[in-house]
Structures are given as C-alpha cells and as structure tokens.
Amino acid sequence: MRTKLTALVAIGLALSACSAAPTVASNSEALARGAAVKTLDAGKLDSLPTGPVYIRMIRFAQPVGYVINSKQHVASVVYVETGAHRLILNGQAPIDLIAGQARFHQSVTHTHLNPGPADPSVWYSIALWPSSARSQSLVDKIAQAAFESDDISRESLPQVAYSQVLRLVTLSKDGTSGAHQFGGLSAFYVLTGSVTIRSAHRPPVTRSVGQGGAFLPDVALQETNAGPGQAVFLEFLTTPVGKDFEVPLQQPPAA
C-alpha cells in the first residue's frame, strides 16, 4: 500500500494507517512487530531554504515562568517531552501543550513560556535550516543543540512544496518498525532506550537517548529496539508534496 501526500489534512490519518497496517512480504523479517506509530503534528512548507540545508533539533530545559522571545525564523515543530509549554504566535491566542504533544508553526515572531507547575519543562524545536544558520547563535542561553545532521545538498531535493510531519515511534522489547523507505528526508532522535537503524548500503548504527541520525530520500530503512526495555524515538519527515510518503519493503535493508 502506498500513501500519497496530496492533501495536508489527510496526513495524520494516512501516515498512521500506512504505518500500522501489515503488508504482504516475501521475508518475515521485513514485517513490523511490537511497533506503534503516532502522528503528532504536520504542516506545509511552500518552499525550502536556498542552498544546502540541515536538520536541527534544539533542546530546552525551561524553568517555570521563564520566557523566550523568538524572532521570525524557519517553520518548525515544537515537541514537549516533560512538563507544560505555552506557545504564543504573533497575533494568535496562546497554545498550551503538555508532555507528548507537538505543534507545527510557520515562520512568525513568537514566545515560549513555561506556565508551570513542572520545573523545568523540557521541549524541542525541530526544523530544517539553511546551512548558513550554523554560524548563528542559538535563540537563548538555555538552548542546546541536541542533534544536527550533516549538510544536505539541494540536488536531492526538488524545488516544490513540502510537508513536514513529526511522529512518535514506540518499540516494545525486541520490536521493529518493519522495512520501509521514505520519499523525503528523515531524521530520528531517541528519547528512551536505544535503537538500531539498518539502512541500505551502510553498516547498522545504534543510537541511545539524546542521539539521532538523518537519511536522504528513498533509502531502505528498518529501526529495531536494541535495548532490554521499551524504546521511544521521534521521527521528523520532510517530503515533497505529491511524492510517496512511505513505502513498505518486502526485504530488510541490505548493508
């Protein structure tokens, strides 16, 4: 089964259905088992930044009452890991998020506030940035770059509109995502446990809490729980609108 990103409003349902439904496979090792995928939020980019780009996940441990005033920057997704978060976009009503929730927002002036009572609130700003932004200071002294990908050439990314989706993937003990490939850029960040990522033509890599990885479009992938307990990771996907979002594969990735 293939899923087309032809309407932004269908992203959440289409992606969850594509991930959850089993598919006929010639190799049982390519099938998902013990995996749950939850779409947290999604949005649309009319275009990508010019020149090379990279994926960056910025982590904040924000005390109660602490305010961060952010200028206009690239469209991004706010994900709350613990505590509460209040996102105030210029000219809009405040958006209150709790642990496990996310919100995509476009490039507008905005404010981040921890309204309490948890201290601190841990949250992430996740986005695709122009590589020229690497030399710029982060927005606030409490901001830390949790993950940054290598520079990505625009040659592999057509100049069209894109969807951006943030998903939360949970793998039970010995669980696996099943073999698949994404039609766009993919980035992973481990929140709990450890995950081994197998990809075509590369040795497997294992990532633990606070570590991540990124892959180009159309690369065969399979994520497997590498630890003794549950593993949880974020999956940030940037896909050309109209291209297959995710395609199940009948064989595990061959290194």
Averaged pLDDT, 20-45: 83
State the Cα–Cα distance between residues 108 and 129, nearest whole angstrom.
Answer: 15
141 exposed, middle or buried (CB, 10 Å; 0-12, 13-18, 19+)?
exposed
Torsion of the alpha carbons at 233, 238, 33 and 194, rounded to the nearest 10: -30
Mean per-residue pLDDT, 101-123: 94
> How confident is the model at residue 255, as a pLDDT?
75
Instruction: Establish whether the linkage from the previous residue to 120 is cis, with ω within 30° of 0.
Output: yes
| Predicted confidence band of residue 26 (pLDDT cuts 50, 70, 90) | low
Q: What percent of the chain has pLDDT over 70?
A: 90
In this predicted structure, which of 12-16, 23-27, 133-137 has the lowest mean pLDDT? 12-16
Mean pLDDT of the chain, nearest integer: 90
CB contact at 8 A, 109 and 71: yes
HSE value, Cβ hemisphere, 13 Å, CA-based, for 167: 28
Short-list 38, 42, 31, 58, CA closest to 9: 42
Per-residue pLDDT reduced to its tens digit, 150-201:
999 998 899 999 999 999 999 999 999 999 999 999 999 999 999 999 999 8
What torsion do the CA atoms of 174, 224, 144, 240 make, to the nearest 10 degrees? -140
> Higher pLDDT residue, 147 or 19?
147
Bridge pairing between strands 194-199 and 220-225: antiparallel
Which one-letter DSSP state was computed for residue 59? E
How is residue 133 written in tokens? 């932004």
Residue 135 has pLDDT above 80, yes or no: yes
Judge if 8-46+161-248 and 53-154 fold alike in CATH terms: yes
Entry pTM: 0.89
In angstroms, rounded to a whole number, what is the distance separating the alpha carbons of residues 255 and 242? 29
Q: Please provide the CATH number assigned to the domain covering 53-154.
A: 2.60.120.10
CATH H superfamily, domain 8-46+161-248: Jelly Rolls (2.60.120.10)
H or E stretch including 219? none
Give the domain ranges of the chain: 8-46+161-248, 53-154
Tell me: pLDDT of 206 over 90. Answer: yes
DSSP state for residue 135 in the 8-state scheme: G
Give the DSSP letter string of 79-144. EEEESEEEEEETTS--EEEETT-EEEE-S--EEEE--SSSSSEEEEEEEEEEGGGGGSPPSSTTEE
Average pLDDT over residues 6-19: 41
Radius of gyration of the chain (CA): 18
